[in-house]
Structure 1
């Protein structure tokens, strides 16, 4: 395995922390043109798989049948962070869909974002399954099961017909045989998939450029899903978060996952990227993605500026004093796109 230093955090002239990892970018010929470290390293998607796991919903007419808004439909792909607008939309979905909260396999929790979590605790509000960041995904799972006549019982298990169907979709998008896809258990209890990082890049290339997908129904489902993700960018994570910044750019399809995984695809450039920060840090995602976009001369400077503002290169102490810096130190081992 080959891992490379991606980001250094420097304090008082001394390197205090190093974030190592791997990055891969592929073009529409499925050739890697951007590589840092071992692109064949098997990596779990974690929540970066949510758009793939949501595709069965978009292969049906569930959204129209139950009168879901785009805001609500975006939550099937989301790692929602528990803001009031997320909770309002999820409550509305429970009123529309043939799903009860107690049927969700994901555990009861508090929101991911600090402000709504602390507000709920102050008010004495108990944890709920609805507040779990995977609630929308699980609502989609159950609704699809009822739509296709699959049993709801055990919908989260690896051998359930819904999970086998999702595995087939991932195999189709990644070009990896089902037998070569590693399966673990995610934080919410659903299956989680690991494939080589390069193939993860290919998946996000195809999400950004669905014309590369051979199956016409899947192609149309991807187009519909990613359009909703772009239109409802704050629903996929929350405001002031990297997913929302990238998805607000209509040229980008993006989703992050736990333990430092981030994936995104560029529509006009017809390129897909995947990265893994080996210490699991999400804090340096904006720095790394901004640097990648700068290195390939991405032309939407506003998107890069927003990423830089989200995670400035200056480290400040509790009093606001500048005490160090965050420096990206990686370069592609191959020539990036011009």
Structure 2
């Protein structure tokens, strides 16, 4: 059986990937699907916009005058570029905390030039380089504002994590007791929900009116607009989330999740799209998402020209020569 995402080396099929897709409107109607739209999934960092909601609703953003830059950072899986790292430290300074208060751990930055710069400097990696340091700084800011314990903010029973759970439950329309928890790569709780519900959350993110309380609708619109106003804060140089938001000219909000999850909301359609690659291969996720957008008729020729390297993802050898391609080969199922 032909797989929906195929990797070719030259003219020869070398590898392939199964996928799951859910396309949902903000009323909860499943419009299109592929594979299992209800596959239980950890959307991972795709949930960051909903994890950011309590920063607004507790009054934290207002107290510390967090604007679009900070809100986009709280939603980010950033590349560890200089402006990302500085923004994290600025948030911590505002709330009178230090970098060591972040409990996200650290890793080599996604942005290669930033890693080279670090090596040349002789300095050590630190928490600011973590792609999740923005999210953690937002959590800590809320904890400080609410006068809660800083040391235990990562734990599921901490009030900051309970607020996040409630936010995801409400926006994605899953009862809190039905959301299964595990531990994310950065050490905080991660939430397991059907793929359909992740897509529903993104439909509400782009068109929240009438689906949540007026207060929450305003929070979602504020977060959505921050991400789209400053897409470079959400990801960075040569990253899909940044590039698709820029190229769509204000029509798509996008957020990746680890283990090959990709979620987007499309403003002019009022829909959310969630994609999960079964084997967790991230090289397949953007190809799958671009094919979904194409089949739905979202975007013009200019948009697809700008996004070509994500639609037909080139396979390069160690000499940076193109020796293959990753491409899509599937048709969405339409639901009446």
Q: Do the aligned partners of 2:88 and 2:137 also contact (CA within 8 Å) in 1?
A: no
Q: Do the aligned partners of 2:245 and 2:252 also contact (CA within 8 Å) in 1?
A: yes
Instruction: Provide the residue aligned with 1:334 in structure 2.
Output: 334
Once the 2 structures are TM-superposed, how far is the Cα of residue 69 of structure 1 from its aligned partner? 4.6
- Please list the CA deviations of residues 22-45 of structure 1 after superposition, one character each: whole Å capped at 9, or x if unmatched: 111012331111111111110001
Rounded to whole Å, the distance in 2 between the matches of 1:14 and 1:335 is 34
1:261 aligns with 2:261: yes
Secondary structure of residue in 2 paired with 1:109? coil
Once the 2 structures are TM-superposed, how far is the Cα of residue 150 of structure 1 from its aligned partner? 2.5
Rounded to whole Å, the distance in 1 between the matches of 2:262 and 2:122 is 35
CA distance 1:312–1:21, change in 2 (3 Å): closer
Rounded to whole Å, the distance in 2 between the matches of 1:218 and 1:69 is 17
Q: Do the aligned partners of 2:75 and 2:234 also contact (CA within 8 Å) in 1?
A: yes
Q: Do the aligned partners of 1:58 and 1:222 also contact (CA within 8 Å) in 2?
A: no
Rounded to whole Å, the distance in 2 between the matches of 1:68 and 1:266 is 25
Once the 2 structures are TM-superposed, how far is the Cα of residue 245 of structure 1 from its aligned partner? 1.6
Q: Aligned ranges for residues 201-280 of structure 1 at < 5 Å?
A: 201-248=199-246, 249=248, 250-280=250-280
Q: Return 315-324 or 198-207, whichever deviates more.
A: 315-324
Task: Name segments (4+ residues, structure 1) moved above 6 Å.
Answer: none
Q: Do the aligned partners of 1:206 and 1:212 also contact (CA within 8 Å) in 2?
A: no
Instruction: Provide the residue aligned with 1:142 in structure 2.
Output: 140
- Please list the CA deviations of residues 17-64 of structure 1 after superposition, one character each: whole Å capped at 9, or x if unmatched: 101121110123311111111111100011111111111112244334
Any gaps of 5 or more consecutive residues in structure 2? none
Once the 2 structures are TM-superposed, how far is the Cα of residue 318 of structure 1 from its aligned partner? 4.5
| TM-score, normalising length: structure 1 | 0.92
**Aligned match for 2:198, one of 194, 197, 200:** 200
Once the 2 structures are TM-superposed, how far is the Cα of residue 317 of structure 1 from its aligned partner? 4.0
Rounded to whole Å, the distance in 1 between the matches of 2:305 and 2:86 is 31
Any gaps of 5 or more consecutive residues in structure 1? none
Q: Return 69-78 or 80-89, whichever deviates more.
A: 69-78
Q: Do the aligned partners of 1:264 and 1:273 also contact (CA within 8 Å) in 2?
A: yes
Rounded to whole Å, the distance in 1 between the matches of 2:282 and 2:67 is 30
Once the 2 structures are TM-superposed, how far is the Cα of residue 131 of structure 1 from its aligned partner? 1.2
Rounded to whole Å, the distance in 1 between the matches of 2:26 and 2:66 is 33
CA-based RMSD: 2.1
Q: Aligned ranges for residues 33-182 of structure 1 at < 5 Å?
A: 33-182=31-180
Q: Do the aligned partners of 1:99 and 1:139 also contact (CA within 8 Å) in 2?
A: no
| TM-score, normalising length: structure 2 | 0.92
Once the 2 structures are TM-superposed, how far is the Cα of residue 65 of structure 1 from its aligned partner? 2.8
Once the 2 structures are TM-superposed, how far is the Cα of residue 71 of structure 1 from its aligned partner? 2.1
Instruction: Provide the residue aligned with 2:298 in structure 1.
Output: 298
